[in-house]
Amino acid sequence: EVQLLESGGGLAQPGGSLRLSCVATGFTFNIYAMSWVRQAPGKGLEWVSSISDDGASTYYADSVQGRFIISRDNSKNTLFLQMNSLRAEDTAVYYCAKARDSFFESYNDYWGQGTLVTVSS
């Protein structure tokens, strides 16, 4: 059974940093691309970032480009999102999602439960 378990959310101050993790089980992690998708309170889903299966290619939404860094450790079946220079508008539930393919241009067939990030002073 595919499982994605996010952690690392919490309260951060504007300008601060947080690092999200997503541990994957139940599938061969290193042959699939992965993504982060977020949902701000009362808003819709927003794609944040994606990474290819080998970690060589990464992509970001304009809203987080230059502030967030996606990475993965295939030896530990773990996906990361380093979030820097946080803003109030980054407040959201962050979902880890598995892509159907090795390349990021793919739909997401499994999603984690999400972790809440709140940016506030």
Partner 1 sequence: DIQMTQSPASLSASIGDRVTITCRASQVVGHYVAWYQHKPGIPPKLLIYGASILQVGVPSRFSGSRSGTDFNLTISSLQPEDGATYYCQKYNTAPLSFGGGTKAEIK
Contact residues toward partner 1 (CB under 8 A) are 35, 37, 44-47, 50, 59, 61-62, 95, 97, 100, 104-109, 111-114
Q: Which is nearer to partner 1, 35 or 78 (CB)?
A: 35
Q: Which is nearer to partner 1, 75 or 107 (CB)?
A: 107
Give me the amino acid identity at 118.
T
* Shortest Å distance, C-beta 6 to partner 1: 10
* Shortest Å distance, C-beta 50 to partner 1: 7
* Shortest Å distance, C-beta 121 to partner 1: 28
Q: Which is nearer to partner 1, 36 or 80 (CB)?
A: 36
113 Cβ contact list (under 8 Å, min separation 6): 4, 5, 6, 95
* Shortest Å distance, C-beta 44 to partner 1: 4
Q: Which is nearer to partner 1, 45 or 88 (CB)?
A: 45
